[in-house]
Amino acid sequence: MTTDLPAPPEPSGAVATPLKTSVDVAVIGAGIAGLWVANVLKRRGYSVVVFEKDTVGGVQTFASQGMIHGGQKYTLTGKVEDHAASIAAMPARWQAAFDGCGDVDLTGVAFASDSQVMWPAGGLVAGAAVLAAAKLVNAGTEKLTAATYPEALATKPKFKGPVYELPEKVMDIRSLVLALAKPLTGRIYKGEMTALLPDAQVALRHNGADIVLQAQAVVVTAGLGNEAALKAMRIERQMTQRRPLRQIMVRPVPFALYGHGIVGAPKPRVTVTAQRLNEGEYVWYLGGAVAEAAASMTDNEAIAFAAQELAEMFPQVDWSTRQWATWVGDRAEPYDPDGRLPPGPTLHQRGRVLIAWPAKLTFAPALADQVLAALDQHRLKPYFDTPVLDWPQAGMGAYPWETATWQSL
């Protein structure tokens, strides 16, 4: 890491484009990482603008299951792995923000659920695996009595449990994005990064028009777009990985469910979250091993597979009469030599450009800590006023189930 920044630079003119402006920090990408970091920097008194090529709320962020993980999900190998240990501190950071006394103001965030459950989802060792995971990492885990099982499990024929409840919230992602976008009103512009220099000069384009920002620092939180940023910085060694998923959506389901179906394997057989459509009707959004296996299937194969999985796990529902859709995408992550989920957020620096990956939505507070530490190391001080640009603002994104093409089995 370099230290001791020179005085804030003047625009160098290295990229020839018509409109130029100066700002303390330019943030590229308006997913959870960019929005969280921009809020924290604004609170520190830096002038900040965010540029987003598509819509506010990002790609992975709006597609996520909105779960704030405390670690249990990552203990299914029977031990506390790096990831489980580092993520365990995150729920308290989020809770402070929900309570209005954290790094960002999340008092406006709504919750799909205040907790998640773990239940045995088939196989002889599933019950033992649920118990083992429940004992690790998070002290607040509670065994539910049959009378308090979620309806999806209470109505399951011959289901014996055990079911554990984790005090880990599931957020309504749209309300999260709105809460983070509000303090940045007028500062989230529409534009795709087209050039990036280590002296924190960044060029952006929208509708054929170009703008160049000379910043004191650029923070690139562009998800998959981080790959292009690394290329622009001429960083050749492998620093990123993509892990594909095909999330499954099914509607209408008569009850909600938030949690992980455990089978004694390192990954849950299924991770279910839900969004209310109408009274007594939900859309279920399925991740976990179902979505990972479905990544290499066609849409039709994936839906047939998911329908079979659900029929086994929840035989009380007639899945043949539902509507189905999928969301296909990549988890954009820092490189892990074994291709696994990296243990925590990662920041790569080249000059005054910081390229950042949260690795999980849950890690957004820890990622912002790393960004602040890097700027402090550079002794970066607020200098420029916030520019008011004659440039369009980016619009709000949507949930996968709001834009999906639905089909029957």
Q: Which residues bind ligand FAD (CB under 6 A)?
A: 28-34, 51-54, 58-61, 63-67, 69, 192-193, 221-223, 225, 228, 245, 247, 287, 329, 331, 358-362
Closer by beta carbon to ligand FAD, 156 or else 365:
365
Q: Smallest distance from the beta carbon of 291 to ligand FAD, in angstroms?
A: 7
Closer by beta carbon to ligand FAD, 156 or else 288:
288
User: What gap in Å lies between CA 289 and CA 243, rounded to an integer?
Assistant: 13
Q: Smallest distance from the beta carbon of 318 to ligand FAD, in angstroms?
A: 26
Q: Smallest distance from the beta carbon of 383 to ligand FAD, in angstroms?
A: 24
Give burial (CB, 10 Å; 0-12/13-18/19+) of 278: exposed
Let me know: does 233 contact 355? Beta carbons within 8 Å: yes
Q: Smallest distance from the beta carbon of 294 to ligand FAD, in angstroms?
A: 11
Q: Smallest distance from the beta carbon of 73 to ligand FAD, in angstroms?
A: 9
Q: In terms of Cα–Cα distance, which of 32, 75, 409 is closest to 248? A: 409
289-293, long-range: CB within 8 Å, 24+ apart, which pairs? 289/265, 290/248, 291/245, 291/246, 291/247, 291/248, 292/245, 292/267
Q: Smallest distance from the beta carbon of 222 to ligand FAD, in angstroms?
A: 4
Computed from CA positions of residues 400, 208, 353, 200, in that sequence, does the dihedral angle turn out positive or negative? negative
Closer by beta carbon to ligand FAD, 128 or else 227:
227
Closer by beta carbon to ligand FAD, 156 or else 188:
188
Closer by beta carbon to ligand FAD, 54 or else 299:
54
Closer by beta carbon to ligand FAD, 136 or else 347:
347
